[in-house]
Amino acid sequence: MQNKGFWYAFGAYSIWGLFPIYWKWLHQVDAVQLIGHRIAWSFIILFIVVLVSRQLTPLRKAAFNRRVLLIYFVAAIFIGVNWLVYVWAVNQNYIVETSLGYFINPLLSVLLGVIFLRERLRAFQWVPVVLAFCGVAFLTVAYGRPPWIALTLAFSFGSYGLIKKLSPLGSLFGLTIETGILFLPAIIYLVYDATTGAGVFLRADAAPVTNLLLMGAGLVTTIPLLMFASAAQRIPLTMVGILQYITPTIQFLLGVLVYREPFDFNQMIGFGIVWCALLLFVVENFWARRTLTTDPIPELGEG
């Protein structure tokens, strides 16, 4: 069971890491239009999955609830912003900075847990959080601006994760409702683009492969999400946490080695500080869990 879960997680994170290649193939499509297709086709695929698995009735019952709709409306906004900024950044040659956002995200998620869920950090856990902040501050000075792409991706996905932690439904129902909320605005925008001549999909001068890639945006979105949901049920959360660094690592390597994005000495220092923070975070978690499992069980009468 765990072995299958590992490969599901590895596959999901690897697909997410390779996303820049897919979006680069669609570089000629406006980012907002591209996200419109991603939302629309994702919802269609998820709705078909719900239909085939005969879960439409429970989905309908779950969706027609004011509290549930409000939660997933906010989640939809955050994931929509995340998708839009990510796709735009990839096609504007900021893949390296997008990877920074997903390197920062785990530490930001910890901080959000402290602020909103009143979770407590062990004393040494504050060290990587503060170190990551120093890395971002250094990059702000080096860039001459805050790394807003990385910060937007980290905050939007971290906030999305926080809301999902508080949400009442499973991943399939949740994502179906989220994309369903965004579906109508996406369709309206795509129809408007088509009527003004700006739309690419099914246009006479558009390459057939472009149409297929736009439709495929739904598949490449839903497949890794469903794989991840299956993995999360089969393997420990600690393994999920460690494997998540596959995604930004692949993205970073693609940006520097394949797409030849600039990566100077100052960036190396800033990224290095963030990487050190992540390493400390992982080691501290591993050590704390190992200590917890190896502590002797007190004999009756102790304590």
Whole-number pLDDT of residue 299: 42
Whole-number pLDDT of residue 143: 87
b/e map 164-191, b = 16+ CB within 10 Å:
beebebebbbbbbbbbbbbbeebeebbe
Q: State the average pLDDT over residues 20-25.
A: 96
Within 10 angstroms of residue 153's Cβ, the number of other Cβ atoms is 26
For the chain, what is the mean pLDDT?
88
Whole-number pLDDT of residue 153: 95
User: Is the confidence at residue 135, as pLDDT, over 90?
Assistant: yes
Whole-number pLDDT of residue 94: 96
Cα torsion angle, 18, 255, 140, 274, sign: positive
State how far the Cα of 68 lies from the Cα of 167, in Å rounded to an integer. 8
Whole-number pLDDT of residue 293: 59
Whole-number pLDDT of residue 270: 94
Whole-number pLDDT of residue 221: 92
Higher pLDDT, 154 or 198: 154
Give the rounded distance of the alpha carbon of 279 from its chain centre. 20
pLDDT band at residue 97 using 50, 70 and 90 as cut-offs: very high
Look at the block and give the residue holding tokens 């598949």: 219
Q: State the average pLDDT over residues 239-254.
A: 86
State how far the Cα of 179 lies from the Cα of 230, in Å rounded to an integer. 20
Secondary structure of residue 172 in the 3-state scheme: helix
- Tell me the pLDDT tens digit for each residue of 257-298: 999 999 999 999 999 999 999 888 888 877 877 776 555 444
State how far the Cα of 189 lies from the Cα of 213, in Å rounded to an integer. 19
